[in-house]
Chain A
Amino acid sequence: EDQVTQSPEALRLQEGESSSLNCSYTVSGLRGLFWYRQDPGKGPEFLFTLYSAGEEKEKERLKATLTKKESFLHITAPKPEDSATYLCAVSGNQFYFGTGTSLTVIP
């Protein structure tokens, strides 16, 4: 069965305290792994696409990596404006989303 599991469900960090979010998956015929950011009351905002194990993508304080069974979203020296829910999705025949990690960065 295709599925995506994200951990932790919630994460509280002090400003500047780096950490990682995890996305583990099982999917038949992986076409891509996607990271999104979602702010309350808004649609998810696209961050990264990863297609193959070993691939890495970076954007400002965020870095996404991919292995054969999981992906990590590393957040370096986070700021309060990074507070949001981060969603992971994998695509086989369709998109499967995880339930997200709710990140709170405290000033």
Chain B
Amino acid sequence: KAGVTQTPRYLIKTRGQQVTLSCSPISGHRSVSWYQQTPGQGLQFLFEYFSETQRNKGNFPGRFSGRQFSNSRSEMNVSTLELGDSALYLCASSWGQGGTYEQYFGPGTRLTVT
């Protein structure tokens, strides 16, 4: 069974630009969550999507947004990039929503903002 895939794996962007990251969950999984990981803060929850609806949102500014498609694939968008947005962005899929089931993570997208 294929795991969670994320594209691209690496990105370099300039301050002020926007970026879109993509995530394909494990087949049959309907929940997709996004996390930001930095050395200082660890894994921080961004949002969760289930059946194309955002079910939960972490404490991040509105510049961070996402969506989920009918095939459960998800995208995350960050607008007006700041230097502090440099991080590893991780996508995780789960069979169900809301934290009852374990999440399986992709390899992440390493975003560098210069």
Interface pair B108/A31, CB less than 8 Å apart: no
Interface pair B102/A34, CB less than 8 Å apart: yes
A residues near B35, Cβ cutoff 8 Å: 97
Among A32, A36, A43, chain B packs the most CB atoms within 10 A around the CB of A43
How far, in angstroms, from A32 to B95 measured CA to CA in the complex? 14
- Looking at chain A's contact residues, the main secondary structure is strand
**Which residues of chain B in 26-54 are interfacial with respect to chain A, using CB atoms and an 8 Å cutoff?**
33, 35, 42-45, 48
Write the chain B residue with the least CB distance to A6. B42
A residues near B45, Cβ cutoff 8 Å: 94-97
Q: A32-B99, A93-B98 are in contact. Are A45 and B43 (CB under 8 A)?
A: no
**Contact check: which of A46, A93, A98 meets B104 at CB < 8 Å?**
A46
Interface pair A43/B100, CB less than 8 Å apart: no
Flag whether A42 is at the interface (Cβ < 8 A): yes
Contact-residue size bin, chain B (C-beta under 8 Å from the other chain):
20 to 34
Interface pair A42/B108, CB less than 8 Å apart: yes
Write the chain A residue with the least CB distance to B91. A43
How far, in angstroms, from A91 to B101 measured CA to CA in the complex? 9
CB distance from A105 to the nearest CB of B (A): 22
**Contact check: which of B33, B43, B100 meets A87 at CB < 8 Å?**
B43
How far, in angstroms, from A23 to B18 measured CA to CA in the complex? 37
Interface pair B103/A46, CB less than 8 Å apart: yes
Flag whether A8 is at the interface (Cβ < 8 A): no
Q: List 9 A-B contacts (CB under 8 A).
A: A31-B100, A43-B4, A43-B106, A43-B108, A46-B104, A92-B99, A95-B45, A97-B44, A98-B42
